[in-house]
Amino acid sequence: MTVSRDEARAAFDDAPEQPWFTGVRIKDRRHEPLTPGGRCRLTLFEQVEGDDRPHPRLRTAMPPMPDPSPPAALFSPPEAAPGTPEAAIEAVEAGFRAAGGLLALGDLDPATAPDGSAHYWRNSIRVQRTARFFEEASAWLDRLPLTGRAVARSGIRQLEARAYAGLVQFDDGNTGTYHSYEHDKPFVHYLEALLKTLPEEGTPAWGLLPAEQQEAVRRQRAQARNHLDHLMRHKYAYNGIIETDIERTLGGLLIDRRTRNIASETTESQHSLVPQYELLRVEPAAEHPHAGAWVYRDGDALRLQDGTRVEVAAEQLRAVPVPADRLTFLRAPQDPRLRRGVRLDWDGSGFVRQGKVGWVSWAGHCDIKAIMEQLGITLEGPLESRPKVEEYRSDTGDLTEYSRDLLIEMIASVLELGSRYNRVDGSGAVVRGEHHFGGARNDSRPDRLQFTGLRQGRHFRWPLSTRQETFTITGLTRGGAPVDVDTAFLRYLPDAVAVDFANNPQFIKTVEGDYNLIDVSGAVLTARVKLDRFDAITGYPEQDTETLTIDLRPDYSGPRQLLGTHMKDAGARELYRVWFDHKARRVELIPERYTRDDAGRWVAKELPGQAVRIPLVAPLSVTLSREMKEDDPELLDKLLRIAIRQGQNICADTDMAAEVWNGVVTRVESERVAWNAATRVERWKVFVKARFGNATLEYLLRLDDEGHASAYCPLPGGKAPDFFWQDFPDVGSKGIEGRDWVVNSKMLERGLIDVEEARWAQGGVYVHDEHIKNVYEILWAGLSGHRWTIVHGNKRYGFTEREAWETAVLELERLREAFATNGRSDELFS
């Protein structure tokens, strides 16, 4: 469908060439860098050498703040060269005191700091000057003809560490949301707004688009819808999630992605734990007033898509199977069509379970919020000056406002796509951007037993589950004497009073970052475990908590000992009951299936011939591992140095007991509280304040002869942080990494981009990225001050003055209306 080209149409099409149209083509400016928040360098498009157009690529960086008045020198050496290491240290200490005013930025005017980043301005310049001071002092020390230079270097390094210590405050911008899964907070609203702006096929607005732009809008609509569908399927939960009542708790209608029709569970699967789905339609040839209409099942009733109840005979109903992975949700939290008792395996466990999916109550994107606040991209300020975009489409004549909150949604949803890319030749993946991590994340994993098998690859680790509550050791005795479980797993045994630490003889090694291993061969263990079963009445899986004793002594002669249960196939109601048979020296996995007996109750029966038996070595060799809540401080120190010695915001999970609770760090206070010169051990205390909580890290640090860290020992008992991290995302649709063309993994997986094989294109593929390009253009317009935009011919133009924008909008409205007033309204489309 195209519009006949006459003078009126030509005037409309050529509007951007007229003097009254003063907007700039966003495509010509969108590669220019931005500094939202005053400290982050942000670019949204990249021109790849040899390619014909810039591609969407969000990149971030945090360059040091320029020192407006850099001192010529900071360290002033004494006139007389010191003759001992102690005198050299005293000279540096004196120089540090003398430079105190410059190091404290007493010569600078705080009013010159950029809005939103006053703390980073101060921190960055202060640490640059501090680094310069110690560089100059170290260079002076190296020139001295000094005996015992190592002692002097150690003393100066200790002074340097204390110079950076103390209170460091960071900028505390707040996005105002962590995009909780619940309460209608996920970043889906801007996608609905975007989709609503696009002209519909078959309308006059569609006809105003050139043919090539019609195809672009088709792709944009499909890509944006795929983006929304993924988020609604996996990240939206208005009232939490109950898988046996999914529509009413999630707040959305279960629909087929392809047809957008409401789906129904088949009647045949209603007693299964793995529901099957179908689309229902009144037979098109049936003698029925709604012949051909799509309907859905609501309890015992059938309804049209608008919710109207209809009567349809079974022989007039057509069923079309729909795979579960083609389903998503239409956001409708208060819609009267939401059905009671619709079931869906929402969390991908392989079956539907009863009760609330617990973790959804705190699920969200606090990690994305933290990164945005670390970067300073919070779009705060007086209401009248906050970034937003008011956009007019000349084809539909519609106005859309992308408020500050919708722009925040856009940025968060883009960052959620991540910085991982697939090579287009299929040879693997790469990660772009900068990603710093310190610590070993507390994933709330269970204690684990490792039984040594007869050969490599035939060992047995229990439990197989990764959930903490499935298996926890609560008691341990060795040789009849109890062992303190809280200290048994420590690498070092600290003595906080003496400011020293020693090796723990029970410790073997650390695996997987924070799992510490000890040998428990010959010990007796007490374990709190979760045992699986299927409820006799409902047939749904349940768990019971029990305490078990596991006797690993070589002289044990009792019956086999239960280790626990493991779900084999929940959909088939099958599980393993796992035993340790000491006499036979093996582990046995005995499968059971729950079936209905004559009374209709679900009962367990052993599956003959399907047991798995794993023989073990003699003598018995068993290790026990535990995820440590207090990590090796060395893992955390890397990120603390970025905060303290570079002055940059970092992020933290400040709760070592929770699975995850991430937030930007707003304050760090560090202090050396004790020093043991004889053992060269320092005691440090670091207080961290973050968005969602506080933490205190206390540790002992052993130094080598020259003052470098050689070993770290945490001091238990405090509320230590779980981990620190800092991210500079790099989120694009495609690009070149080295000599490889790459495409964003999540964009490709979720259908946000289309990759077309094209030998004529660089890399052998052509990436259609209309949706992401459109989002990035809106963001660039809003963040660059082009707060008023016009989309004309599906091309975006930006204005920095509202009056000029309004003039252009009114003129375009006049030109568009001229088609109808020229008496050619019936001839517009051919």
How is the chain split into domains, by residue range? 1-68+177-232+364-433+729-830, 85-107+118-169, 236-358, 448-627, 633-724
Mean pLDDT of 753-758: 88
Residue 440 in this model has a pLDDT that exceeds 70: no
Q: Is the CB of residue 563 less than 8 Å from the CB of residue 577?
A: no
Residue 289: asked if its preceding bond is cis (omega within 30°), the reply is no
Mean pLDDT of 498-505: 95
Mean pLDDT of 750-757: 94
Mean pLDDT of 484-496: 90
Residue 828 has a pLDDT of 29
Residue 762 in this model has a pLDDT that exceeds 70: no
* Helix residue ranges, H only, 728-821: 745-750, 770-784, 802-819
Residue 360 has a pLDDT of 85
Q: Which two tokens stand for residue 812?
A: 């375009």
Q: pLDDT (tens digit, 9 = 90+) per residue, 663-713?
A: 999 999 999 999 999 999 999 999 999 998 899 999 999 999 999 999 999
Q: Which two tokens stand for residue 10?
A: 């030509």
Distance from C-alpha of 263 to C-alpha of 260, rounded to nearest angstrom: 9
Q: pLDDT (tens digit, 9 = 90+) per residue, 405-415?
A: 999 999 999 99
Instruction: Give the chain's mean pLDDT.
Output: 93
CB atoms within 10 A of CB 699: 23
Q: pLDDT (tens digit, 9 = 90+) per residue, 587-621?
A: 999 999 999 999 999 999 999 999 999 999 999 99
Distance from C-alpha of 689 to C-alpha of 139, rounded to nearest angstrom: 36
> Which positions ≥6 away from 267 have C-beta within 8 Å?
none
Q: Which of 97-106, 297-306, 764-773 has the lowest mean pLDDT?
A: 764-773
pTM of the model: 0.91
Residue of 608, 177, 611 lying closest to 403 (CA atoms): 177
Q: What percent of the chain has pLDDT over 90?
A: 83
Distance from C-alpha of 438 to C-alpha of 564, rounded to nearest angstrom: 34
Distance from C-alpha of 326 to C-alpha of 90, rounded to nearest angstrom: 72
